[in-house]
Amino acid sequence: MTCELCDSDGGAVLWRDEFCRVVRPAVEGYPGFLRVIVNRHVKEMTDLQERARLMRVVFACEAALRQLYSPDKVNLASLGNVVPHVHWHVIARFAEDAHFPDAIWAAPRRQSQPRAAVADEALTRAIIAAL
């Protein structure tokens, strides 16, 4: 079996411990996009004994994005339809982004102006502070 999230980090690693990692994937137009990925292969949330631990990291990422980006909304999504490995998308959203109010995977509604990205180091510090 091959798994994209077992075989690679899934983005630039901002924080990691023995259980999970927070990465920043390169998603054009969404500089406030993070993924929280369980380090071992597990398909469903109910397969995890450490669900609360994982959600603490997801919520720390949400807090960091809110602090640094002041978004209109933060989306939390765990789908796993394409990559069946537990991971959460934590996405800072803005009313003027190309897809709002739809999911970022939907067809765009408009052109959006590029938004400046917060430095990786600042995001890491904010995540650690929230943890």
Query: Quick one: DSSP state of residue 125?
Result: H
pTM for this prediction: 0.95
pLDDT digits (tens, 9 = 90+) for 64-123: 999 999 999 999 999 988 999 999 999 999 999 999 999 999 999 999 888 899 999 999
The top-level CATH class assigned to 4-125 is alpha beta
pLDDT digits (tens, 9 = 90+) for 60-75: 999 999 999 999 999 9
Mean pLDDT score of the chain: 96
pLDDT at residue 1 in the model: 72
Calculate the alpha carbon distances from 121 to 78, 79, 85, 92, 126 in Å: 25, 28, 27, 17, 9
Is the separation of the CB atoms in 19 and 51 below 8 Å?
no
> Does the pLDDT at position 21 exceed 90?
yes
Domain boundaries, the chain: 4-125
**Among residues of the chain, what percentage have pLDDT more than 90?**
93
Give residues with Cβ within 8 angstroms of 40, minimum separation 6.
Answer: none
pLDDT at residue 48 in the model: 96
